[in-house]
Amino acid sequence: MIKILFVCHGNICRSPMAEFVMKKLVRDLRDSNLQVRDFEIASAATSTEEIGNPVYPPARRMLASHGIDCSGKTARQMTLADYNHYDYIVLMDQNNLRNLRWILPRDIYERELAQSRDAQESAQSRDGKVSLLMDWAGKSRDVADPWYTGDFEATWRDVNEGCKAMLKQILENC
């Protein structure tokens, strides 16, 4: 089983968008040895600010406009148990990486941080579990944050690009 956890600050915009986009991409797989049952995909926050809240309405509308239902999803915070459980911890931005210091033991955090600093290394070839979503698409930048810009279309484009690239690399390595 391939286990992926998408992480952002509040788990109400970017990471749930990535979760549900990746779930759709996996459901739509054709000509692959992998199927939906071979994946576990979820999302979480680095903060406690939005715990229990549903997906932010503009993010929910953006997903719905593309035929993706995210009903029932509520924000939760990432835990050390999540780090131990998931194969991939995929962050939306550098701030999420810094915020992991409050969740992970110091030695694990410092190892993941050091591995993420090598911008030339591809996301899928890292020894650690933690990566930035846009690294999978070969772009060293953050996923556009609609919380501050209101531009959910830019976030949609980034999330799709990153998820498609990540799934492609996973499939190539299976």
- Are the beta carbons of 46 and 78 closer than 8 angstroms? yes
Determine whether 14 is an active site residue: yes
Q: Distance between CA 74 and CA 121 in Å, rounded? A: 33
Q: Distance between CA 57 and CA 147 in Å, rounded? A: 11
Catalytically annotated residue among 13, 14, 60, 158:
14
Determine whether 76 is an active site residue: no
Determine whether 27 is an active site residue: no
Catalytically annotated residue among 8, 13, 70, 163:
8
Half-sphere exposure of 127 (CA within 13 A, CB side): 8
Catalytically annotated residue among 93, 135, 142, 145:
145
The two three-digit tokens of residue 86, written as one number: 């998931």
By annotation, the residues acting in catalysis are 8, 14, 145
